[in-house]
Amino acid sequence: MVKYSLRRLLGAIPTLMVVVVLAFLLVHAAPGGPFDSERVLPEAIKENIDKYYHLDEPLPQQFFRYISNVVRGDFGPSYRYRDHTVTQLIAGSLPISMLLGSLAMLLAVVVGIAAGTVAALRQNSVVDRVVMAFAMTGISIPVFVIAPVLVLFLAVKLQWLPAGWSGSTGAARLLLPVISLALPQIAYIARLTRASMIDVLASPFIRTARAQGLGTYAVIRYHALKPAMLPIVSYMGPAIAGILTGSVVVEQIFGIPGVGQFFVTGALNRDYTLVLGIVIVYAVMIVTMNLIADLIYGVIDPRVRYR
Amino acid sequence: MVLWLLVVACGTENVGQSDSTLHRGLGTDPESLDAQKARSVQAANLLRDIGEGLLAYSADGKLVPAAAERWEIADDGLTYTFTIRADARWSNGDPLTATHFVLGLRRLVNPANAAFYANTITDIVNAEAIIASDMSADELGVAAIDAQTLRIELTQPVPYLLSLLTHPSTFPAHSKLGNVDTANSARSLLSNGAYKLLSWEPGSLLRLQRNEHYWNNAATAIDLVHYHVIVEETVELNRYRAGELHTTDNVPPENFAAIKEERGDELRISQYLGTYYFGFNLTRPPFKNNPHLRQALSMAVDRDVLVEKITGRGESAAYSWVPPGTDNYAPPQLSYTNLEQEERNAIARSLYHQAGYSDDNPVQVELRYNTSNTQRRIALAVQAMWREALGFEATLVGEEFQVLLTNIREAQITEIFRGSWIGDYNDAATFLNLLLSNNPANMMGYASEEYDSLMQRAAAQVEPRRRRLYLEEAERALLADHAIMPVYFYVSKHLVRPEVRGWEDNVLDYHYSQHLSLDVAQ
């Protein structure tokens, strides 16, 4: 398994290189530059600024300068945040996104799997229909509707919770964003679990287990749960990578200084280095999470072997 | 849930609970708190709290002495001598001297610092050569005669120099390296204003604390100021309604009438030095050498409908380029200002025909704007007005802002484009200079010898009344040419809680925290 992991990680290096090159070309291909505004700068001042940020060099030279810095762990200065480096901005925002994301994922896994299992056991009953109705609603109502409604009700009307991140220093500010992030994930996971659980419960080995006289709880706990988790594990790899690197919508609505916000504003401001830095972090996360998902496969599915 | 318990234990903090902290909405992050490197309105707002120039503005927008207690201007208007307050201090207690202002101004023009606002002081002796790297920054025409005396020498009279010297880019610097490394340690940022920086969490919050070394510290009422970074206007409104903010940076256009009803006097709308306009690309057909067509299009736009039905936040229809409220200036008006819209439409139709167009041969025009709700609605309304009055169908092109800017600057495909101009200081020149043929920001490509020469004559005038006449004459020429289509004047919009005292509306929309106080009894 260690050999397999190492091989996978080494194999990811060319992928990452391709991602970096493409991202570099794409951000530089977008019209406009980081310092463009309606207040067009006098030529001499524009030249000074371009020189300061090495934007006057030919693109290949800029690329090699950038890559050689990245290899040494330096993502360069942010063009928009002139007092900050990209490393500082990511180091400040990634932990916040990761904290929110992992809390939301935890909530989603616990609630989603429980709800999905209950629905599968009581297939076509009232319970099943209610759970699935909730899940369907959770999937179809987008976060940018749910989150403001939560804010309006719990923060503005009742004033129980802060409406924005900087409105409080306590853990209270985590609650609304975590729920907003978790709701659609709960819905997905509940539906996946239900479908997969129904499949597994219909398979011959479950019939055998029941025939041996095992109760429902023991059948689920010792026989059905593990194989039913396979689709969820493969769903979670990329889902976790996505949720940990920040949801732009939730971050905007609650004013959370997470990576997602910096990514979008960076792209709009043509903050080349900031966007590239976040793309690299995001790519590394996806590669890692996919690997972890594959490794967990081996733990829960005895048919999987790593070579 | 465990989370619930956690939350109930912590509770939330509302603005009412801590008496001496002022919570202000800020819009986006400042890009820098280095006075010479900053660029945005947000950065300038913050810098006016933590720093101070030779002069500043009072709460109601009047120029007042600040770090300088007095000054003398030579008769030729070329030499200014400032006396710095003996009790002016940096936030670490060091005395503030004339040398610090010399350092600050040199940093501004030094090419190594890549300062955006370097061109604010190009009229200081040698500034232009220094920016162009032809001279060393030490040769800038500013000198510290002694610790308290600063002399600035100009190449031509700049009647608005005193208001320029309130701009953060002209603030003093403690050393050649500036005042700071904000990212590494906000607390180590040296500043000379009423407040100092405590912390900066990008994308979220900037905390300021009273600077006890400030010369006028006794007049500062509020101990702590929190600037909350909130990009979305609707989010800011919710946070204000949830009691987390005392003042907002803006007010969203959606449901404006309902907000007005709900908030009453808390809604503060005030005239602002900013013009929303449509620019014509004067370097290409159909607008090149075609004043009739430009005038027809301009006249057919019913500005009253736009400001009442579309923008609807108290903006006023614009019939001049320079906004009303500009100091020492009375903007001339477009020729048709006093006509009813129907009369305007009739004249517009005949001008349209004179320009060679008709229903059978309509003009083909693209109107470009940056994609946003308000911009699209304005563009749609204008398209409908032209269709109604002149019978042609303009093509609307919505583009991302940076794409639009690139297209406007290249002037290869643009025909009519949306633009806005916000005054940097309270003087007509900040608007009129834009249309000079040699100004790189003149994206219309307007080049009029008459206009340029009137502006030049104005620039050479020391006597304010004579200068003003030339400036007004220049704008009259500009409006007669229909080189630009002013549409409406911006207003500043804020929500201000009743317990906030000392907030006064002013055209510059400057609201220094040191002028505010909180009435705890409220």
| Residues B90-143: tens digit of each pLDDT | 999 999 999 999 999 999 999 888 888 888 898 999 999 999 899 999 999 999
Distance CA A222, CA B492 (A): 66
Distance CA A174, CA A136 (A): 25
Task: Please state the rounded mean pLDDT for residues B77-98.
Answer: 95
pLDDT at A238 over 50: yes
- Cβ pair A156, A164 in contact under 8 A: no
Residue B366 backbone class (left: φ over 0; alpha: ψ -120 to 50; beta: rest): beta
Distance CA B458, CA B455 (A): 5
pLDDT at B277 over 90: yes
| Chain A interface test: which of B238, B407, B435 (most A C-beta within 10 Å) | B238
All residues of chain A having their beta carbon less than 8 Å from the beta carbon of residue B28 are 265
Q: Is B301 exposed, middle or buried (0-12, 13-18, 19+ CB in 10 A)?
A: buried
Min distance A9 CA to chain B CA atoms (Å): 33
pLDDT at B63 over 50: yes
Total residues belonging to chain A: 307
Return the sign of the alpha-carbon dihedral for residues A31, A35, A39, A43.
Answer: negative
Asked if the Cβ–Cβ distance from A252 to B231 is below 8 Å, we say yes
- One domain, residues B106 and B195: yes
Q: Would you tell me how many other CB atoms lie within 10 Å of the CB of residue B199?
A: 14
Return the sign of the alpha-carbon dihedral for residues B229, B231, B235, B238.
Answer: positive
Q: In this structure, is residue B455 part of a structural domain?
A: yes
- Cβ pair B499, B247 in contact under 8 A: no
Q: B19: pLDDT confidence band, cut at 50, 70 and 90?
A: low
Distance CA A188, CA A193 (A): 9
Domain total of chain B = 2
- Cβ pair B279, B443 in contact under 8 A: yes
Asked if the Cβ–Cβ distance from A45 to B405 is below 8 Å, we say no
Min distance B75 CA to chain A CA atoms (Å): 31
- One domain, residues B228 and B315: no
Asked if the Cβ–Cβ distance from A156 to B242 is below 8 Å, we say yes
- Cβ pair B209, B50 in contact under 8 A: no
- One domain, residues B341 and B454: yes
Domain containing residue B311: 273-492
Q: In this structure, is residue B241 part of a structural domain?
A: no
Asked if the Cβ–Cβ distance from B118 to A261 is below 8 Å, we say no
pLDDT at B18 over 60: no
pLDDT at B147 over 60: yes
Q: B88: pLDDT confidence band, cut at 50, 70 and 90?
A: very high
Distance CA B241, CA B134 (A): 55
- One domain, residues B514 and B436: no
Nearest CA in chain A to B433: A39
Asked if the Cβ–Cβ distance from A45 to B235 is below 8 Å, we say no
- Cβ pair B196, B209 in contact under 8 A: yes
Nearest to B406 among A32, A166, A255 (CB): A32
Min distance A253 CA to chain B CA atoms (Å): 6
Min distance A60 CA to chain B CA atoms (Å): 23
pLDDT at A38 over 80: no
User: What is the pLDDT at residue A71?
Assistant: 86
Residue B518 has which token pair? Answer: 């909180």
User: What is the pLDDT at residue B5?
Assistant: 37
- One domain, residues B102 and B142: yes
Residue ranges of domains in chain A, CATH in brackets: 91-259 (1.10.3720.10)
User: What is the pLDDT at residue B300?
Assistant: 95
Q: Write the CB contacts of A74 (distance below 8 Å, at least 6 apart in sequence).
A: A85, A87
User: What is the pLDDT at residue B425?
Assistant: 85
All residues of chain B having their beta carbon less than 8 Å from the beta carbon of residue A265 are 28, 231
All residues of chain B having their beta carbon less than 8 Å from the beta carbon of residue A88 are 183
- One domain, residues B467 and B379: yes
Residue B232 has which token pair? Answer: 């979305």
Work out how many CB contacts closer than 8 A connect A with B: 199
User: What is the pLDDT at residue A46?
Assistant: 83
CATH classification of the domain holding B97: 3.40.190.10
Distance CA B191, CA B130 (A): 26
Q: Would you tell me how many other CB atoms lie within 10 Å of the CB of residue B379?
A: 21
- Cβ pair A210, A129 in contact under 8 A: no
Asked if the Cβ–Cβ distance from B228 to A168 is below 8 Å, we say no
Total residues belonging to chain B: 522
Q: A245: pLDDT confidence band, cut at 50, 70 and 90?
A: low
- Cβ pair A107, A226 in contact under 8 A: no
Mean pLDDT in chain B?
A: 90
Nearest Cα to Cα of residue B36 among B97, B93, B120: B120
- One domain, residues B485 and B507: no
What ipTM does the predicted assembly reach?
0.85
User: What is the pLDDT at residue B522?
Assistant: 61
Asked if the Cβ–Cβ distance from B238 to A178 is below 8 Å, we say no
Asked if the Cβ–Cβ distance from A53 to B114 is below 8 Å, we say yes
pLDDT at B3 over 80: no
pLDDT at B379 over 90: yes
All residues of chain B having their beta carbon less than 8 Å from the beta carbon of residue A261 are 203, 231
pLDDT tens for B461-505 read 888 889 999 999 999 999 999 999 999 999 999 999 999 999 999
User: What is the pLDDT at residue A286?
Assistant: 83
Q: In this structure, is residue B279 part of a structural domain?
A: yes
Nearest to A172 among B11, B38, B202 (CB): B11
- One domain, residues B102 and B7: yes
More confident residue, B522 or B160: B160
- One domain, residues B57 and B125: yes
Instruction: Give the CA distances from residue B385 to residues A148, A154, B263, B417, in Å, rounded to whole numbers and listed in that order.
Output: 36, 44, 34, 16
- Residue B277 is inside which H or E element, if any? strand B267-280
- Residue A165 is inside which H or E element, if any? none
What percent of chain B shows pLDDT beyond 70?
A: 94
Q: In this structure, is residue B13 part of a structural domain?
A: yes
- One domain, residues B421 and B506: no
Q: Please tell me if residue B202 touches chain A, with a CB cutoff of 8 Å.
A: yes
Nearest Cα to Cα of residue B249 among B195, B304, B206: B206
pLDDT at B10 over 50: no
Min distance A280 CA to chain B CA atoms (Å): 20
Asked if the Cβ–Cβ distance from A159 to B243 is below 8 Å, we say yes
All residues of chain A having their beta carbon less than 8 Å from the beta carbon of residue B201 are 92, 166, 257
User: What is the pLDDT at residue B39?
Assistant: 86
What 8-state DSSP symbol labels residue B218? G
Nearest to B239 among A36, A37, A164 (CB): A164
All residues of chain B having their beta carbon less than 8 Å from the beta carbon of residue A49 are 114, 116
Task: Please state the rounded mean pLDDT for residues A248-271.
Answer: 88
Q: In this structure, is residue B242 part of a structural domain?
A: no
Min distance A181 CA to chain B CA atoms (Å): 14
Burial B348-364 (b: 16+ CB within 10 A, else e): bbebbeebebeeeebbe
What 8-state DSSP symbol labels residue B368? E
Task: Please state the rounded mean pLDDT for residues B362-391.
Answer: 93
Distance CA B65, CA B480 (A): 40
Q: In this structure, is residue B262 part of a structural domain?
A: no
- One domain, residues B325 and B176: no
User: What is the pLDDT at residue B374?
Assistant: 87
pLDDT at B156 over 80: yes
pLDDT tens for B294-345 read 999 999 999 999 999 998 888 999 999 999 989 889 999 999 999 999 999 9
Asked if the Cβ–Cβ distance from B238 to A163 is below 8 Å, we say yes
pLDDT at B1 over 60: no
Mean pLDDT in chain A?
A: 86
The DSSP code sequence of A128-147 is HHHHHHHHHHHHHS-HHHHH
Report the range of poorest mean pLDDT among A245-259, B157-171, B225-239. A245-259
Asked if the Cβ–Cβ distance from A257 to B229 is below 8 Å, we say yes
- Cβ pair B97, B54 in contact under 8 A: no
Backbone φ and ψ for A188, nearest 5 degrees, come out as -60, -50
Return the sign of the alpha-carbon dihedral for residues B245, B249, B255, B259.
Answer: positive
CATH classification of the domain holding B428: 3.10.105.10
User: What is the pLDDT at residue B2?
Assistant: 42
- Cβ pair B294, B483 in contact under 8 A: yes
User: What is the pLDDT at residue B257?
Assistant: 86
Q: In this structure, is residue B141 part of a structural domain?
A: yes
Instruction: Give the CA distances from residue A23 to residues A259, A274, B34, B147, in Å, rounded to whole numbers and listed in that order.
Output: 17, 11, 31, 53
Task: Please state the rounded mean pLDDT for residues A232-254.
Answer: 80
Task: Please state the rounded mean pLDDT for residues A30-48.
Answer: 81
All residues of chain A having their beta carbon less than 8 Å from the beta carbon of residue B31 are 80-83
Q: Is A63 exposed, middle or buried (0-12, 13-18, 19+ CB in 10 A)?
A: middle
pLDDT at B447 over 80: yes
More confident residue, B446 or A255: B446
Nearest Cα to Cα of residue A225 among A106, A111, A117: A117
Q: A213: pLDDT confidence band, cut at 50, 70 and 90?
A: confident
Q: In this structure, is residue B334 part of a structural domain?
A: yes
Q: State whether residue A20 is helix, strand or coil.
A: helix
- One domain, residues B283 and B351: yes
Min distance B243 CA to chain A CA atoms (Å): 8
Q: Please tell me if residue B460 touches chain A, with a CB cutoff of 8 Å.
A: no
User: What is the pLDDT at residue A246?
Assistant: 62
pLDDT tens for A176-203 read 999 988 988 899 899 999 999 999 988 8
User: What is the pLDDT at residue B8?
Assistant: 40
